[in-house]
Structures are given as C-alpha cells and as structure tokens.
A and B are shown apart, each in its own frame.
Chain A
Amino acid sequence: MNTETLVRMIRRGAALDPTKTAVRSSGGELAFAQLVDGAGRIATALAEAGVARGDRVGIWMDKTPACVQAVVGTMMAGAAYVPLDPKAPWRRCQSILADCGVAAVFADGPRLAQLADLLAGLAPRLLVVDGDPGAVGAAPGMATTTLGEVLARPGRELPEPGLDDLAYILYTSGSTGTPKGVVHTHRSGADFVCWVRDTYGITADDVFSSHAPFHFDLSVCDLYVPLGCGATVRLISSLEAMLPPYLVRSVAEWGITVWYSVPSILIAMMETGGLETAGFGQVRILFFAGEVFPAPQLQRLRRALPGVRMANLFGPTETNVCTYYDLPPDVPADRPIPIGKACENLESFVLDDDGREIGVGVEGTLWIKGGNLMSGYWNDPERTALTLKPDPRGGDGVAYCTGDRVRLQPDGDYEFLGRRDHMIKIRGFRIDTGEVEAALAAQPAVLEAVVVAVAGGEAGTRLAASVVPRAGAGVDVNELRAFCADRLPVYMVPELIEVRDALPRTSTGKADRKALQAAWSQEGNA
C-alpha cells in the first residue's frame, strides 16, 4: 500500500541525484535540485500570501519547466493545483476559477493580456506572472508579483501535505454547460503513479516524454512517474507537437524511453512523420489512452515497432487509468482491441441495468473500486452522488460508476462497447455534447440546439449541431460559430452547423439524436 504523497515521491526522486536533469524542454531545463528548491520558494510565497492547506491555485501557463515548478510548489504549500487549458478562451477558464474559488493564479505568455477579463469578479490573494507584469493590462486589483521575484526570495520549511490533502482538480466537460472539477488527493494520484511505476518497472534511467497538457490526466503519469523515480521528463510544447516529422526525429535524439499520448499524434507521426521507417528511437514502452485507437492504424503501429511494449490504458479522469491491455505481438485491423483488465490495485465489476452483477459475455456498465478514485466533483455533492456510490454489491466503501458499457470476455479482458451518456471523444478530447449544446443555446437567437457526433473530417469524428431559432429570429451560422469560439475550446466548436425549423423527436418527446445522425450521414454521402 502506497504511503507517500506526490511531494514525498518527488523529493525522494530528487535525492537520488540532485544534479540530474528533472525537466527538459525546448525553452530550458531544471535539475532536480532546482526543481525542488524553486518549488519550495513558490510554496513559501503562496503560504505568505495566505494560501492555506486545501486551497486551490489556478495555473494558466504554457507547459514549461516554470509551470512544473508552479504545480509542484502549489502542492508543497498543501494546496491543489487547478490546471487551465492555455488555449481555452478566458470565459471558460473564468467559470472554472469561479467554480473552485482559487486563492492564487499563475499565468504567462499571451494570456497575460487577458488576465483583467479572466479575474474580473474573482478575488485570488496573489497573482504570479511568469513574464512582463506590464503585459497584464488593467490592474486586476490583487497582489501581483513575478515568478522571478518569487524565486529570488528564500524558501522556508512548510508542513508537508498529507495523503488525504487535495493534490489537483481537473476540470472536464459537463453536461449542463459548466465543467466539472474532478478532485484528486495525493492518495488517489500517487496510487495511480505507483501502479505505473511498479507494473512497468520504471527506473531512474528512463526518460519520459510529456505530450499531454497538464489539464489532461495523462500528465499525472507523465510528470510524477519519472520525477518520483529520479527520471527525466522532456516536455513537448504545443508548437513542437504540431510537427510530426520533427517529433519522430526528436524522440530518438532526446532518448525517450516511455511515450504516452492520445492515438491521433501517433497516427500523425506515422502518416506524415515517417515513424514506420525511422523507428521510435529507444522507446521501450508506448502507452496510449483517451479514445479508441482505430484498428488499422494500431496494427500499423504494432507492426512498425515490434520490440516496444505497448499498452492501451483506459479510464476516465475520475479514476485516472482503471483498466489496461498489454498488446500482443500483433493486433487485428478490423476491430478495436480490448480495454483489458482492472489495474492490480483496483477492483472492477459489471452491473446490468437492474443493478445485478454479471459475468462473462453479458453487456453491462463498468464500476471501479479502489485507491485511484476521485474524492468527488468540486462543490457538487449531487453530481458526485450520481456516480460515486456506496458499493452497490454491499460491503464497505464506495465505488465509481464509469458509465462505460463493457462486456467481459472469457480471457478476463473487458471489451469497450460505448457510453451511456452524451460523452464523446474527438482526438482524445473529452466532450460532453450537452456542454456544446448549452453554449449554442446561450446565443440569444437560438431556441434549441442538439449536437451529435458524425463520422468524417480529419479526426474521423466531428461535431454536428442542429439549431432551431427563436420565433422571429434569424441565426447566422458564422456568427454562431464565433459565439461558440468565445466560450468553448476550439475542439468543442461544432464543425457542422445547420439551422432547422424544428428537431425530429422520439416517442418520449426528446430530440431524436439517431435521426439527426442519420440525416447528417445521408448528407455526407449525397
């Protein structure tokens, strides 16, 4: 049983060789000693500003070594970091910060110019700017300092967080239009991190790549598995991630041994990056997660890298990884691979629609129990109670209802059959179509909006919105798209938008999503 917090793990990893590089990037690097010392100074500044144990700290930064210091420093202060998508519009970030009530905010880059908007109506105690404070614009009216100033002042010893202290809150798409904050403690984060380390034999000689942004839970593996083992992590910037040929060359140059990402970047590295001819350097472990890996492309990858251990890691942000499937030497091209078995530190079970536990061959809903589980959704006991429940089989403890439909195969692996709700994945991004619908419906001319996923487009799946205008109002599709772009990350703005007088309905009066999907498919084939 793991007894170390993420902070304790990082300190131990750093002690192995403090002069070794902990974090590397195109913009600079930090040795373990610098990472820990700098994070300690950040923690001190936060504490001196009144940031207390259990408080939340917003991080709105590019993925840089300084950002890693901010994240670790936040945890050292006993607070939870709330990473914000650096590419999301400030309105979406603001709703997140308002939801969890942040005590401090870190920001950098082009986001500085939007801080006045972002922080209007919020009252963090401290704003830390990594960059020119002059770029912040209209004074947000709170104590403001630069990261440089913070790092120049000595750190002091602070109480260490405990296992049950909050570590991070990751916001995910929510059905009613407001994102949900998934709360993790050091216990739940570290339980997952230790599972990766122990299952895959990670050592200080490994080198991890970090492709995922910090608001995506893949980053919990990317950062804390290597740092906790005294291994280096190479941050990949969003600019670098746009260049598949460069990535393929660089993975070899950087000596990456563990790669973790969504399928789409791996596919891009094959399609335009020459991965199949160049190989993947010294990568010995390749994890993918986030969405189904299209079978034909996965077969190509499997065959291109025969010596590499590959695993499909599966699980929602609420549990991080809960099941995993180590790929055999070859995979079929005509059907998706299983999501595998529950991680060894977790328990899984499948219930049918009547709540009865079922076994091999029968479709049901996957439930997970164990240390990886979130504590709940921030400040939302009702939504939390919908999915985190006392173990329905009886006995102690809570279990999490994933909402994923699965079928247990005779060999013990689960097959993934789809979702129960309106959650879809595009390029690994989690999208609740309800959130997109809420954004569309917020436009004054829109009466009703329904968003479905249809096949097609570059990513293989795209969002298609059907919109009904208010009586007497006209809806301009371009204006509506721009309205959404102001409120939603770019991957949630529907690619296809149509205006209808009315939506098709089911017998219970709900919008008939299947009919809409069929209509979109017909249009595509016409």
Chain B
Amino acid sequence: MNYEAEIKHFIATELLPDERGAALTDDQALITSGLVDSMGLLQILGFVQQKFGTDLMATGSPMDFDSVGALAAAVRRGRGE
C-alpha cells in the first residue's frame, strides 16, 4: 500500500485544502514548519490508526511525525512490513 499517498491525500483534504496541501512532498517538514499544528497532528494520528491500524501516538517518537515520509515509515514498522 502506498502509505505516503494515502497520508498526503488525508492532509490535503482535511488539513491543508489549498495549494500547500496540493504541493506537499514526502520530505517536507509538517510540524516544525508550522504547516500542521497539534490539533492537526492528532487528526493525522487518528487517521493513521483508523485506516492502517497502527497507534503511532502510543509507540511513536517525534522523529516519526514531522513528514509524510517519516509517518509512512513508522506505519510500515508498526505493521511489521
């Protein structure tokens, strides 16, 4: 599964429904750049849990959250892929 695409789609639809979401790359800093705030992070983690069954909040560290790529890698690890 293309976790990167799924996560980007969620962010672009729910959090950044403008050109920033459309232009989002896998490596772009999400939170430290100010694009996504703490509420947004909670929504992303909720989406990831609901869609992929991985509870990143319970197991993850900050390094897992600051880009689409990092989130996707954390999901793969969580799913043992």
Q: Is the CB of A240 within 8 A of B62?
A: yes
> Looking at the complex, which one of B32, B34, B57 makes contact with A243 (CB distance below 8 Å)?
B57
Per-residue CB contact flags for chain B residues 40-68 toward chain A (1 = under 8 Å, else 0) read: 01100000000000000111111101100
Q: Would A237 and B62 be within 8 Å (CB), given that A62-B32, A243-B57, A245-B57 are in contact? A: yes
Q: Is the CB of A239 within 8 A of B31?
A: yes
Write out the residue numbers on chain A whose beta carbons fall within 8 Å of the beta carbon of B66.
239
Cβ-based interface call for A490 (8 A): yes
Additional A-B contact list (12), CB under 8 Å, known A110-B32, A242-B62, A490-B37: A87-B34, A110-B33, A238-B31, A242-B38, A242-B42, A243-B60, A243-B61, A243-B65, A245-B58, A246-B60, A246-B61, A272-B57
Write out the residue numbers on chain B whose beta carbons fall within 8 Å of the beta carbon of A26.
62-63
Kindly identify, within residues 229 to 268 of chain A, every residue whose CB is under 8 Å from any CB belonging to chain B.
Answer: 237-240, 242-243, 245-246
| B41 and chain A: residue at smallest CB distance | A242
Write out the residue numbers on chain A whose beta carbons fall within 8 Å of the beta carbon of B59.
245
Cβ-based interface call for A155 (8 A): no
Q: Would A239 and B34 be within 8 Å (CB), given that A245-B57, A272-B57 are in contact? A: no
Write out the residue numbers on chain B whose beta carbons fall within 8 Å of the beta carbon of A403.
none
> Looking at the complex, which one of B32, B38, B60, B61 makes contact with A109 (CB distance below 8 Å)?
B32
Q: Across chains A and B, which 5 residue pairs bring their CB atoms closest together, nearest first?
A: A242-B38, A239-B62, A110-B34, A240-B62, A110-B33
Shortest C-beta distance, A359 to chain B (Å), equals: 46
Q: Cα distance A239–B33 when bound, in Å?
A: 11
Shortest C-beta distance, A404 to chain B (Å), equals: 30
Shortest C-beta distance, A338 to chain B (Å), equals: 32
Q: Cα distance A245–B45 when bound, in Å?
A: 13
Using a CB–CB cutoff of 8 Å, the interface residues on chain B facing chain A are: 31-34, 37-38, 41-42, 57-63, 65-66
Kindly identify, within residues 18 to 36 of chain A, every residue whose CB is under 8 Å from any CB belonging to chain B.
Answer: 26
Write out the residue numbers on chain A whose beta carbons fall within 8 Å of the beta carbon of B41.
242
Kindly identify, within residues 470 to 489 of chain A, every residue whose CB is under 8 Å from any CB belonging to chain B.
Answer: none
| A109 and chain B: residue at smallest CB distance | B32
Shortest C-beta distance, A209 to chain B (Å), equals: 15
Q: Cα distance A246–B65 when bound, in Å?
A: 12
| B35 and chain A: residue at smallest CB distance | A110
Q: Cα distance A237–B65 when bound, in Å?
A: 13
> Looking at the complex, which one of B42, B57, B58, B65 makes contact with A239 (CB distance below 8 Å)?
B65
Question: Can you list 25 A-B pairs with a CB-CB distance of less than 8 A?
Answer: A26-B62, A87-B34, A109-B32, A109-B33, A237-B62, A238-B31, A238-B38, A239-B31, A239-B62, A239-B65, A239-B66, A240-B62, A242-B31, A242-B38, A242-B62, A243-B57, A243-B60, A243-B61, A243-B62, A245-B58, A245-B59, A246-B60, A246-B61, A272-B57, A490-B37
Q: Cα distance A256–B57 when bound, in Å?
A: 21
Q: Is the CB of B32 within 8 A of A239?
A: yes
Q: Cα distance A243–B55 when bound, in Å?
A: 12
Shortest C-beta distance, A148 to chain B (Å), equals: 19
Write out the residue numbers on chain A whose beta carbons fall within 8 Å of the beta carbon of B57.
243, 245, 272
Write out the residue numbers on chain B whose beta carbons fall within 8 Å of the beta carbon of A239.
31-32, 62, 65-66
Kindly identify, within residues 184 to 243 of chain A, every residue whose CB is under 8 Å from any CB belonging to chain B.
Answer: 237-240, 242-243
Shortest C-beta distance, A269 to chain B (Å), equals: 12
Kindly identify, within residues 63 to 122 of chain A, every residue whose CB is under 8 Å from any CB belonging to chain B.
Answer: 87, 109-110
Q: Cα distance A239–B59 when bound, in Å?
A: 15
Q: Cα distance A272–B56 when bound, in Å?
A: 13
Q: Cα distance A110–B66 when bound, in Å?
A: 14
| A242 and chain B: residue at smallest CB distance | B38
| A111 and chain B: residue at smallest CB distance | B34
Write out the residue numbers on chain A whose beta carbons fall within 8 Å of the beta carbon of B33.
109-110
Shortest C-beta distance, A267 to chain B (Å), equals: 15
Shortest C-beta distance, A246 to chain B (Å), equals: 6
Q: Cα distance A245–B58 when bound, in Å?
A: 6
Shortest C-beta distance, A72 to chain B (Å), equals: 23
Q: Cα distance A26–B37 when bound, in Å?
A: 19
Q: Cα distance A87–B58 when bound, in Å?
A: 26
Q: Is the CB of B37 within 8 A of A246?
A: no
Q: Cα distance A240–B62 when bound, in Å?
A: 6
Q: Cα distance A240–B41 when bound, in Å?
A: 12
Write out the residue numbers on chain B whose beta carbons fall within 8 Å of the beta carbon of A490.
37
Chain B CB count within 10 A is highest, among A26, A240, A243, A245, for A243
| B38 and chain A: residue at smallest CB distance | A242
| B56 and chain A: residue at smallest CB distance | A243
Shortest C-beta distance, A113 to chain B (Å), equals: 10
Shortest C-beta distance, A512 to chain B (Å), equals: 33
Q: Cα distance A218–B62 when bound, in Å?
A: 23
Q: Cα distance A110–B28 when bound, in Å?
A: 12
Chain A CB count within 10 A is highest, among B31, B57, B60, B63, for B57
Write out the residue numbers on chain A whose beta carbons fall within 8 Å of the beta carbon of B38.
238, 242
| A236 and chain B: residue at smallest CB distance | B62
Write out the residue numbers on chain A whose beta carbons fall within 8 Å of the beta carbon of B65.
239, 243
Q: Is the CB of B62 within 8 A of A246?
A: yes
